[in-house]
């Protein structure tokens, strides 16, 4: 029998939900947000945990072993996937954060991500379908015309139809300027789309009646890229969308990653011609936050697995062996795992709250502050989620020892599933360059908003003051990087700066956790996690600060290794 991941503690997630900055303001601003009372939140999370255990955890092992099949040009999902997805739709889980007027429940985005954590804990690959589905609904609601909204919003929000994000091509990943897919206007107002798209999650499947591909392409009449909605079918008739293959890959086997060909496929323009990339960022923002949630889910499951195993596994001690959780080195790993989970969870929920505030704050300046803070936090949540997932899963394998390296325990699958999270939706290097060029050399409003909030919270509790030197290092790096004359020197230190900013942001969450006044086991855990993280980050921040400013010295000698 395969080892299992322990059940999630939904009360711990609920406490973090209540502690996240911005929640009280959201509840005051909007009636549907106010409906997310502590009792309702606890009930939703409890039910999500049950659904994850009953439907998704059983699917995870079977699906990882079976994977998806490519049969006669179509993708066939593994045994039990259809039943799990149908139960997901029947439970109304697709509608949580969608607007009431569009058939949703109108609850906070942070609650939707808290639920996603529980679902991805049961089966990380399962959420690769609902995330673009929810994100596409937001995109169409913002930029679609009246007819498109009438046709697509209700089926997407209900889960009857699915969606994808189609950007990457063989020679154009993050470098979208090299996209070659073309769109030609037709006489009836629609467009004929021709090109090849790669790495499309759930680009084809047998779970929904229809798939809408949100696709970037070039037109002859606009300089920029344009955004199109390309259905996979019209009734029983297939559109010109051909599945070339599904990728053989390291992890996330339940999620089919497809190469798609568009052969004069009919599509409809979304929003303004030439503005597709800017519009697509609404979808990308939601999907990058979702990547953070996926990483959090893997990290949380791996940390709990390692802790439970360490309580039972006996090694060392005299005269009788003792549980390995009594050994200092194992305690060190388990403490760091717990700290990473809690600060990442708090950071994700905070970013989600400010995402909602950016949309509904009535005061223009407050709305701008919220939006700028979200954009500052977004690359930090995405990158930290991916890195913590892999690091915590790797530590879980280490704690389990030889058992962790076998399929008898789920730690090895967690490690495989986590590895892609720092790659898709923008690699770590891309996130670092975004932070450097857009948030340092560009508008620093988000940074200023973050520093004000973090300094106030760090000063509110004596233990939180350990964050202040980290914030000083962040500000020093900012000023010195902005002053660098050679762009390559700044870019050489960009990833180290991203990590320094992430340490400051997770330190902010830790400072808030140590200041919690709640009582009980969950609050004690959160305070302990916060204290441990605040103890770890000052030396790590000093190292990142130094590396971020090393400039071209970091690249010295590259020519000597780049030889034939």
* Residues designated catalytic: 425
Task: Using alpha carbons, list the distances in angstroms from residue 151 to 154, 276, 389, 446.
Answer: 7, 20, 38, 37
Provide the 10 A C-beta neighbour count for residue 329.
10
CA 143, CA 282: separation in Å to the nearest integer? 10
State the Cα torsion 553-557-562-564 to the nearest 10°.
170
CA 461, CA 511: separation in Å to the nearest integer? 7
Residue pair 532/335 in contact (Cβ under 8 Å)? The answer is: yes
Helices then strands, counting H and E runs in the chain, come out as: 20, 13
End-to-end CA distance of the chain: 50
Q: Which residue shows structure tokens 């509790």?
A: 461
Residue 251: how many CA atoms within 13 Å on its side-chain side? 22
Provide the 10 A C-beta neighbour count for residue 210.
17
CA 41, CA 11: separation in Å to the nearest integer? 10
164 CA to centre of own chain: 16
Task: Using alpha carbons, list the distances in angstroms from residue 415 to 118, 385, 450.
Answer: 18, 13, 32
In b/e form, how buried is each residue of 332-352, taking b as 16+ CB within 10 angstroms?
ebbbbbbbbbbbbbbbbbbbb
Provide the 10 A C-beta neighbour count for residue 46.
15
CA 367, CA 472: separation in Å to the nearest integer? 27
Provide the 10 A C-beta neighbour count for residue 231.
21
CA 389, CA 415: separation in Å to the nearest integer? 8
Structure token pair of residue 528:
């302990």
Tell how strand 162-166 and strand 211-217 pair up: parallel
Closest CA to 111 of 33, 166, 54: 33
Closest CA to 464 of 406, 528, 515, 536: 515
Structure token pair of residue 380:
């930090």
């Amino acid at each position: 029998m395969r080892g299992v991941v322990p059940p999630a503690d939904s009360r711990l997630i609920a406490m973090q939900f209540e502690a996240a900055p911005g929640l009280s303001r959201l509840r005051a601003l909007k009636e549907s947000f106010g409906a997310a009372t502590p009792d309702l939140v606890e009930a939703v999370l409890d039910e999500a945990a049950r659904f994850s255990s009953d439907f998704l955890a059983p699917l995870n092992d079977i699906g990882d072993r079976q994977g998806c099949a490519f049969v006669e040009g179509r993708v066939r999902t593994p045994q039990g996937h259809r039943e799990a997805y149908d139960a997901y739709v029947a439970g109304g889980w697709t509608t949580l954060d969608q607007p009431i007027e569009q058939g949703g429940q109108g609850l906070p985005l942070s609650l939707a991500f808290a639920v996603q954590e529980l679902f991805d804990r049961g089966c990380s690959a399962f959420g690769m379908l609902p995330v673009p589905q929810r994100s596409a609904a937001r995109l169409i609601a913002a930029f679609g015309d009246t007819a498109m909204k009438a046709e697509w919003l209700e089926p997407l929000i209900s889960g009857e139809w699915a969606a994808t994000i189609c950007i990457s091509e063989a020679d154009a990943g993050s470098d979208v300027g090299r996209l070659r897919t073309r769109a030609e206007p037709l006489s009836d107002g629609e467009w004929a789309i021709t090109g090849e798209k790669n790495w499309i999650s759930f680009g084809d499947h047998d779970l929904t009646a229809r798939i809408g591909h949100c696709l970037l392409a070039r037109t002859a009449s606009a300089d920029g890229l344009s955004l199109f909605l390309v259905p996979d079918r019209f009734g029983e008739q297939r559109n010109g969308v051909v599945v070339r293959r599904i990728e053989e890959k390291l992890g996330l086997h339940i999620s089919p990653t497809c190469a798609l060909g568009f052969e004069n496929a009919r599509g409809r323009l979304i929003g303004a011609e030439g503005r597709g990339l800017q519009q697509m960022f609404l979808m990308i923002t939601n999907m990058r936050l979702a990547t953070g949630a996926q990483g959090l889910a893997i990290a949380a499951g791996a940390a709990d697995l390692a802790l439970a195993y360490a309580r039972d596994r006996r090694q060392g001690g005299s005269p009788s062996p003792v549980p390995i959780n009594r050994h200092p080195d194992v305690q060190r790993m388990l403490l760091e795992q717990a700290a990473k989970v809690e600060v990442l969870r708090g950071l994700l929920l905070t970013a989600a709250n400010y995402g909602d505030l950016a949309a509904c704050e009535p005061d223009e300046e407050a709305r701008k502050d919220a939006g700028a803070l979200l954009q500052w936090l977004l690359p930090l949540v995405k990158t930290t989620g991916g890195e913590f997932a892999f690091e915590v899963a790797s530590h879980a394998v280490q704690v389990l020892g030889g058992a962790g390296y076998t399929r008898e325990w789920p730690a090895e699958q967690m490690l495989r599933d986590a590895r892609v999270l720092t790659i898709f939706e923008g690699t770590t290097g891309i996130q670092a360059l975004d932070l450097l060029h857009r948030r340092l050399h560009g508008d620093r409003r988000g940074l200023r908003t973050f520093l004000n909030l973090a300094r106030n919270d760090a000063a509110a509790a004596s233990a939180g003051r350990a964050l202040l030197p980290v914030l000083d290092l962040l500000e020093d790096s900012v000023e010195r990087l902005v002053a660098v004359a050679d762009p390559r020197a700044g870019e050489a230190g960009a990833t180290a700066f991203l990590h320094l900013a992430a340490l400051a942001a997770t330190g902010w969450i830790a400072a808030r956790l140590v200041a919690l006044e709640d009582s009980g086991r969950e609050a004690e855990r959160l305070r302990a996690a916060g204290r441990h993280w605040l103890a770890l980050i000052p030396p790590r921040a000093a190292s990142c600060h130094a590396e971020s400013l090393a400039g071209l010295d970091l690249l010295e000698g590259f020519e000597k290794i780049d030889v034939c």
